[in-house]
């Protein structure tokens, strides 16, 4: 079995942050989202991975992920010259996939479960497609499944105006090679894209074996700021560990699970976990609250921050309170006039006086 990770697109929902970088590389708990996808695939025993990239961000993804050697995997990059739909991404990857069954994983999705059990079930039952579903509050924004009480799928609809259920398709699928002929038979949707939901529906309509599971664990599509902050909080809660590699002076207090990277220092500050702080960072005379990730070479001075993601090389100075914020790389935030609280989303290389 192979895997196909979709890491193209323009990341419009995370702008301005994604004007200068790939959305799949935005860090959650100081690791790119894409790395968690690769982890899950490799842990399922799959080592042959294709990554679909776009012209805008493909080079950055190649440079960050590399050949796959870090995971003991082999990675092939596949260029999708335009965002023409998930099924189109499968179509242009046919030379890589050949006649193999494969996991398709959206590179900006995180799920709180190991996919190995789904891979094993797919192989045991010799399915043609296996889809994961999750109950959501806003089904109009997703591909939605209409299912019988016994779990049989009646139909799939992409972003329906009147959803038949609240069961959304999670961004992880498993397909046999029969998906290729199904894609060849469908036409672009009204959005002008080849929809993977239409291809799966074609499999259902032609009598192929399509199975579904309803996820009990969490699933997050990290395409928006609030979703990314939620993902950061959940990952820190569930996977965060205490690990101190830097230095902490005697005037500081460390509470709970805090990870502090190499050559980083905490001075006259309180850090309440779960928190992760990268390498070569400085925390001075500040409070860092739960569910905060601070990147390499960041500097936080005379400030209070919680439930936020601060990317590498950024500075927050003399800010009385910052919360629920996503700060890009090499950003400077410092106080000019007094404010009680900040909620920010800033792209790379910004400077803000507040």
pLDDT for 14? 47
Closest CA to 350 of 340, 338, 325, 228: 325
Q: Which of 235, 270, 287 is the last residue of a domain?
A: 235
Alpha helices in 165-292 (DSSP H): 178-185, 196-205, 225-239
SS3 138: coil
Domain endpoint, select from 205, 235, 265: 235
pLDDT tens digit sequence for 282-339: 999 999 999 999 999 999 999 999 999 999 999 999 988 999 988 888 888 887 665 5
Provide the token pair at 68.
Answer: 């796959």
Q: What is the spatial distance between Cα 320 and Cα 284, in angstroms, rounded to a whole number?
A: 13
Q: What are phi and psi of 315, to 5 degrees?
A: -125, 135
Q: What is the pLDDT of residues 95-149, one digit of tens each?
A: 999 999 999 999 988 998 999 999 999 999 888 999 999 998 889 888 899 887 7
Q: Which residues pair with 283 in a beta bridge?
A: 266, 300
Let me know whether 162 and 212 are in one domain.
Answer: yes
Identify the residue with better confidence: 239 or 102. Answer: 102
Tokens of 129: 């497609």
State the CB neighbour count (10 A cutoff) for residue 221. Answer: 20
Q: Are 51 and 155 part of one and the same domain?
A: yes
One domain, residues 259 and 309? yes
282 and 201 part of one domain: no
In the numeric block, the tokens 């860090």 are attached to 27
- Helix or strand holding residue 255 (H, E): strand 253-255
**Does 98 share its domain with 134?**
yes
The pTM score is 0.87
Are residues 44 and 161 both part of a single domain?
yes
211 and 297 co-located in one domain: no
User: Burial of 255 by CB count in 10 Å (0-12 exposed, 13-18 middle, 19+ buried)?
Assistant: exposed
* End-of-domain residue from the set 210, 235, 260: 235
| CATH of residue 7 | 3.90.550.10
- The number of distinct structural domains making up the chain is 2
**CA pair distance 229, 221, nearest whole angstrom:** 11
Task: Report helix angle 178-185 to 196-205, nearest 10.
Answer: 100
- What are the beta bridge partners of residue 28? 31
Q: Do residue 209 and residue 81 come from a single domain?
A: yes
**Is 10's pLDDT higher than 60?**
no
Distance CA 177, CA 208 (A): 12
154: pLDDT confidence band, cut at 50, 70 and 90? confident
**Whether 181 and 262 share a structural domain:** no
Strand ranges inside 261-348, DSSP E: 265-267, 270-272, 275-277, 282-284, 287-288, 292-294, 299-301, 304-306, 309-310, 315-317, 322-323, 326-327, 332-334, 345-346
Q: In which band, very low, low, confident or very high, does the pLDDT at 15 lie, cut at 50, 70 and 90?
A: very low
Decide if 15 contacts 39 (C-beta within 8 A): no
Over residues 273-291, the pLDDT tens digits come to 999 999 999 999 999 999 9
- Is the pLDDT at 56 greater than 60, yes or no? yes
Q: State mean pLDDT over 17-29.
A: 73
Closest alpha carbon to 170 in 104, 87, 126? 104
Range of the domain at 48: 2-235
CATH number at residue 273: 2.160.10.10
Give the mean model confidence (pLDDT) for residues 69-98: 95
3-state helix/strand/coil string of 41-52: HHHCCCCEEEEE
Burial annotation 41-51 (CB, 10 A radius, 16+ → b, else e): bbebebbbbbb
Go through the chain and tell me how many residues it has.
Answer: 354
Same domain? 287 vs 178: no
Between 33-43 and 58-65, two packed helices, what is the crossing angle to 10 degrees? 60
Asked if residue 155 and residue 61 are part of one domain, the reply reads yes
Clarify whether residues 272 and 300 are in a common domain.
yes
Q: Which of 3-7, 17-21, 155-159, 166-170 has the lowest mean pLDDT?
A: 17-21
pLDDT confidence of residue 333: 85
Give the strand pairing for 27-28 and 31-32.
antiparallel
DSSP per-residue letters across 211-228 = EEEE--S-EEE--SHHHH
């Amino acid at each position: 079995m192979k895997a196909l990770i979709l890491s193209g697109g323009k990341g419009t929902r995370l702008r301005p942050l994604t004007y200068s970088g790939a959305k799949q590389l935005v860090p959650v708990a100081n690791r790119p989202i894409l790395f968690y996808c690769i982890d899950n695939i490799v842990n399922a025993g799959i080592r042959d991975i294709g990554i679909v990239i776009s012209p805008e961000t493909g080079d950055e993804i190649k440079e960050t992920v590399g050949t796959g050697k870090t995971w003991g995997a082999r990675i092939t990059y596949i260029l999708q010259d335009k965002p023409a739909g998930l099924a189109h991404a499968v179509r242009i990857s046919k030379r890589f996939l050949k006649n193999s069954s494969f996991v398709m994983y959206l590179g900006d999705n995180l799920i709180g479960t190991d996919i190995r059990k789904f891979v094993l079930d797919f192989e045991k039952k010799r399915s043609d497609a296996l889809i994961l579903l999750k109950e959501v509050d806003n089904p109009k924004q997703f591909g939605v499944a209409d299912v019988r009480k016994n779990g049989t799928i009646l139909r799939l609809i992409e972003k329906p105006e009147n959803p038949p259920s609240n069961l959304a398709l999670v961004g992880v699928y498993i397909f046999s090679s029969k998906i290729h002929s199904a894609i060849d038979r469908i036409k672009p949707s009204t959005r002008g894209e080849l929809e993977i939901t239409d291809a799966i529906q074609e499999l259902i309509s032609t009598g192929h074996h399509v199975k579904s599971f309803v996820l009990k664990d969490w699933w997050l599509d990290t395409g928006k700021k609030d979703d990314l902050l939620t993902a950061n909080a959940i990952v820190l809660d569930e996977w965060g560990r205490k690990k101190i590699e830097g230095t902490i002076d005697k005037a500081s207090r460390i509470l709970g699970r805090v990870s502090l990277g190499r050559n980083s220092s905490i001075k006259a500050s309180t850090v309440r976990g779960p928190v992760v702080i990268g390498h070569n960072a400085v925390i001075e005379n500040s409070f860092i609250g739960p569910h905060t990730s601070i990147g390499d070479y960041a500097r936080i001075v005379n400030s209070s921050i919680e439930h936020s993601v601060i990317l590498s090389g950024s500075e927050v100075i003399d800010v009385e309170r910052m919360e629920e914020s996503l700060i890009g790389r090499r950003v400077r935030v410092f106080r000019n006039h007094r404010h009680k609280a900040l909620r920010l989303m800033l792209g790379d290389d910004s400077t803000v006086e507040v």
